[in-house]
Amino acid sequence: MTIETSDGNNDVATFYNGTGTVPLAGKLRSMWGGNLHLGYWHDTDDDTPPDVATERLTDLVITCLEPKPGQRLLDIGCGVGKPATRLLTTHPVQVVGITISEAQVDQARARAADSGLADRARFEHADAMLMPFPDASFDGAWALESMFHMPDRAQVLAETSRVLRGQSRLAITDFVLRTPLGTAGKAVVDRMCATFGIHSISTLDEYVEQLGAHDFAVTNVRDISDNVLRTGILLADAMESVREQLVANGNATEVDAMINATREFATTAEFGYVIISAVRN
């Protein structure tokens, strides 16, 4: 089953530019340490703080990417450049990051400059569905929690396939639907999609098939749903702690909807989360 909306990217850009009715992006960044993705916890006794748990997830994805010295890597949906900075700090590679949010480009550039990495980092405002790069111009790519925002995932995979050289690695973290989707589960998934600008979500089987159709051979899939669950609880608690600020600058109904949807994520088995590793044929 695939849930897709026909909306464009406007709501996603507005969300990350911090100009939407819930000015959450900036708050998330300060609460979450710059990574705009979920954290990874080993088990329920693991009480690692979110800024460390999110770096852990970045490191897991870096492992899937198997970066080699000198490679030119594409960061699809780079956020404010925190994962790219981690990659650049730990590996002698070059990174080009793209994001649909103009505001994030400036933040990512500033982060790279502050870390002394600007000579190996480039960030651009670009739509992943229409990448401004020549064919076969990258040695690898990753998409950390960005694919679900894309109005047309097949189009993004076609573009990714086009800009990657043969044998390049692709690493993706994304939500997947775990079926059967009961009525209650479907309602939560719908609420999550509406609240967080999720435009494409599918079962894992459909994902793998779609990758295959775009010249990617999937080499590994790791279901880490249980390891990321804690994010929903911590993030909802964190948002609640600044609720008054969020409401003062935004819309109370939407703020509460976002907090509730975030909390529900942790208890909805139908919402899975995977790391997919693939190689471009």
Residues within the interface to ligand SAM (CB under 6 A): 9, 12, 16, 35-37, 77-79, 82-83, 98-101, 104, 127-129, 144-146, 149-150
Closer to ligand SAM by Cβ: residue 60 or 252: 60
22 touches 239 (CB < 8 A): no
CA atoms of 240 and 207, how far apart (whole Å): 34
Nearer to ligand SAM, 129 or 276 (CB): 129
* Residue with Cβ nearer ligand SAM (106 or 252): 106
- Min dist. Cβ of residue 75 to ligand SAM (A): 7
Nearest residue (CB) to ligand SAM, 55 versus 264: 55
Six-digit token string for 3 = 């849930």
* 148 secondary structure, DSSP code: G
Judging by DSSP bridges, how do beta strands 138-144 and 72-76 pair with one another?
Answer: parallel
Residue pair 37/80 in contact by the 8 Å Cβ criterion = no
Give the tokens for residue 270.
């139908």
How many residues does the structure list for the chain? 281
Q: Minimum Å distance from CB 233 to ligand SAM? A: 18
Q: How far apart are CA 255 and CA 84, in angstroms?
A: 29
Q: How far is the CB of 29 from ligand SAM (least distance, A)?
A: 9
Least distance from ligand SAM to the Cβ atom of residue 199, Å = 8
